């Protein structure tokens, strides 16, 4: 069985987030597991959502049509 190539762990990004965003002390950062760091990232950034697709945009346009009296509306 051949092992799949894996991406190296993103240490630079992890350290920027841990030190820069979470303001962790080095001892606390290095004591975290990758799973704990991942949960901290989710707590700050939230879960990524898919961008709005065409059907979603069409639904919003149908539910909230432009009004002629709104700034930027085209007649």
Confirm if 18 and 32 have CB atoms less than 8 A apart: yes
pLDDT value, residue 66: 81
The reply to whether the predicted model has a pTM over 0.75 is no
Burial of 57 (0-12, 13-18, 19+ CB in 10 A): exposed
Domain ranges of the chain: 11-45
Ranges 5-9, 39-43, 62-66, most confident: 39-43
Number of residues that this document lists for the chain = 75
What is the per-residue pLDDT across 10-57, written as a single tens digit (0 to 9) for each? 999 999 999 999 999 999 999 999 999 999 999 999 888 889 999 999
* Alpha-helical runs (H) found in the chain: 11-15, 26-31, 34-45, 54-63
- The yes-or-no verdict on residue 70 having pLDDT over 80 is no
4-21 b/e (C-beta count within 10 Å ≥ 16 → b): eeeeeeeeeebeebbeee
């Amino acid at each position: 069985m051949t092992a799949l190539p894996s991406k190296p762990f993103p240490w630079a990004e992890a350290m920027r987030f841990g030190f820069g965003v979470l303001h962790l002390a080095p001892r606390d950062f290095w004591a975290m597991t990758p799973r704990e760091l991942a949960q901290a990232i989710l707590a700050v950034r939230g879960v990524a959502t898919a961008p709005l697709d065409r059907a979603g945009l069409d639904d919003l346009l149908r539910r909230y049509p432009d009004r002629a009296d709104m700034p930027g509306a085209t007649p």
